[in-house]
Amino acid sequence: MKNFQLPLHKSEIPTPALLIDFDLFNQNLAEMARFFKDRSAKLRPHFKTHKCPIIAKKQVEAGAIGITCAKLGEAEVLVEAGITSILIANQIVDPLKIRRLAELAPETELIVAVDNPHNIAMLSAMAVEAGSLIYILVEVDVGLHRCGVQPGQAALDLARYIRTQPGLEFAGVLGYEGHTVFVLDAEERKKQADQAMLELTSTAQLIRQAGIPVRIVSSGGTGTYNFSGVYPGVTEIEAGSYVFMDTKYRAQNLPFQCALTLLSTVISVPSPEKAILDTGMKAITIENGLPEVVSPGGVHLEKLHEEHGIVSVDPALIQLKIGDRVEMIPSHICTTVNLHDHYYVMEGEWVKEIWPISARGKFQ
């Protein structure tokens, strides 16, 4: 970020650039905080969406009990930012990574998921060596069929084993209903999410019946926060995308606004019906479909190359010229953010602040 003096006008932003609409972003934060204010379940929002410590701190200020993340490298960024309770909702199995994890732990409440006894033994050994305490959640496969042990006895067996291992404290269970969060019909989505939460909370209950306290029952995405977040026995929700939203989540009519856009510039106008943008797949992702142009009207994204976007133009509505700006909503916010180093935080036509995406690429 060289030569930037704020305030910076929108027309001066170098593109491609990610813009946060500060008002809409704050509305999203407030709406989610309002939902969880008087509930027994609390919000521990997912860092993988925004990867920005400034936003993580705002989420905690708004009532979140801590932050969820996907990777050790992200947890390191969060610790450095002063977040005091961090859940890595994933397995850390590499010996050198476990060492980094154990050495991080004294500085914060660090919670990690497991689904394998060998992994538990390694975590214990390194925690003892580092003189630290690592909090452990048993990951349960509630239907996503990714990581996790089966609900019920397998999870109880791991919980018991964790309790025999020094340096570790069994803290509860985690089960992500990721197979349900994009079910379009809300009723069907609730039905599937409830089934997943039944399996997760029954497992927690089985462990409690064995005399083992279960402090944390963690689940939930932006598509299911209002189902899993009110399911009896669930204590934490990991939703992330609600801060920004994208065209895929927008289709669900959730009470959140699309607060993040990609600003691009027209670099070539081969004909009145066609223009070329300076934005390709290296700046915005397409695995959930093409992004959607929101401004100006009459412009439609047809294709993304590696470094270019190709738009069709309705000449009856708009005449594009080189240098014009085209703004679009990503179809997948998390992978798009992962391509950028900064957010330009907008109040109207002005950049209010520039926020670093400090954990971009911190997947190791």
Structure tokens at 76: 């390191």
Cβ closer to a second copy: 164 or 364? Answer: 364
**With binding defined as CB under 8 A, does residue 116 bind a second copy?**
yes
**With binding defined as CB under 8 A, does residue 310 bind a second copy?**
yes
Phi, psi of 38 (to 5 degrees): -110, 25
Q: Within 15-34, which residues bind a second copy (CB under 8 A)? A: 15-17
**With binding defined as CB under 8 A, does residue 199 bind a second copy?**
no
For the CB of residue 323, give the shortest distance to a second copy in the complex, in Å: 5
For the CB of residue 100, give the shortest distance to a second copy in the complex, in Å: 8
Using CB under 8 A as the binding criterion, the count of chain residues that bind a second copy stands at: 59
- Selected from 286, 294, 318, 354, the binder of a second copy by CB under 8 A is 286
**With binding defined as CB under 8 A, does residue 152 bind a second copy?**
no
The pattern of x and - marking residues 243 through 282 that bind a second copy according to CB under 8 A reads ----------------------xxxxxx-----x-xx-xx
Tell me which stretch binds a second copy (CB under 8 A): 11-19, 104-112, 183-191, 213-221: 11-19
For the CB of residue 75, give the shortest distance to a second copy in the complex, in Å: 13
In the chain, what's the furthest Cα-to-Cα distance? 73
| Residue 143, phi-psi category: left (phi > 0), alpha (psi -120 to 50), beta (remainder) | left
Is there a contact between 151 and 140 (Cβ–Cβ < 8 Å)?
A: yes
For the CB of residue 116, give the shortest distance to a second copy in the complex, in Å: 5
Residues 6+ apart with CB under 8 A from 149: 115, 138, 139, 140, 141, 155, 158
Please tell me the distance from the alpha carbon of residue 310 to that of residue 333, in angstroms, as a whole number: 20
**With binding defined as CB under 8 A, does residue 147 bind a second copy?**
yes
> What's the sign of the alpha-carbon dihedral 161, 167, 169, 170?
negative
Q: How many residues does the chain have?
A: 364
**With binding defined as CB under 8 A, does residue 287 bind a second copy?**
yes
**With binding defined as CB under 8 A, does residue 358 bind a second copy?**
no
Cβ closer to a second copy: 24 or 260? Answer: 260
Q: Within 63-102, which residues bind a second copy (CB under 8 A)? A: 70-71, 90-97
Q: How far is CA 275 from the centre of its chain?
A: 33
The pattern of x and - marking residues 161 through 190 that bind a second copy according to CB under 8 A reads -----------------x------------
The pattern of x and - marking residues 127 through 146 that bind a second copy according to CB under 8 A reads --------------x---xx
Query: Of the candidates 144, 146, 101, which has an alpha carbon nearest to the alpha carbon of residue 119?
Result: 101
> From start to end of the chain, where are the E strands?
8-9, 17-21, 42-43, 67-69, 85-88, 109-114, 134-139, 168-174, 216-219, 236-237, 260-271, 274-277, 292-295, 299-304, 309-313, 325-329, 342-347, 350-356
**With binding defined as CB under 8 A, does residue 226 bind a second copy?**
no
For the CB of residue 143, give the shortest distance to a second copy in the complex, in Å: 13
Is there a contact between 265 and 354 (Cβ–Cβ < 8 Å)?
A: no
For the CB of residue 119, give the shortest distance to a second copy in the complex, in Å: 6
**With binding defined as CB under 8 A, does residue 340 bind a second copy?**
yes
H helix intervals, the chain: 22-36, 53-61, 72-80, 95-104, 117-130, 153-163, 186-209, 225-228, 247-250, 333-337
> By the criterion CB under 8 A, which residues form the site for a second copy?
12, 14-17, 48, 70-71, 90-97, 115-116, 118-119, 141, 145-148, 178, 265-270, 276, 278-279, 281-283, 285-287, 305-308, 310, 321-323, 334-335, 338-341, 360-361, 363-364
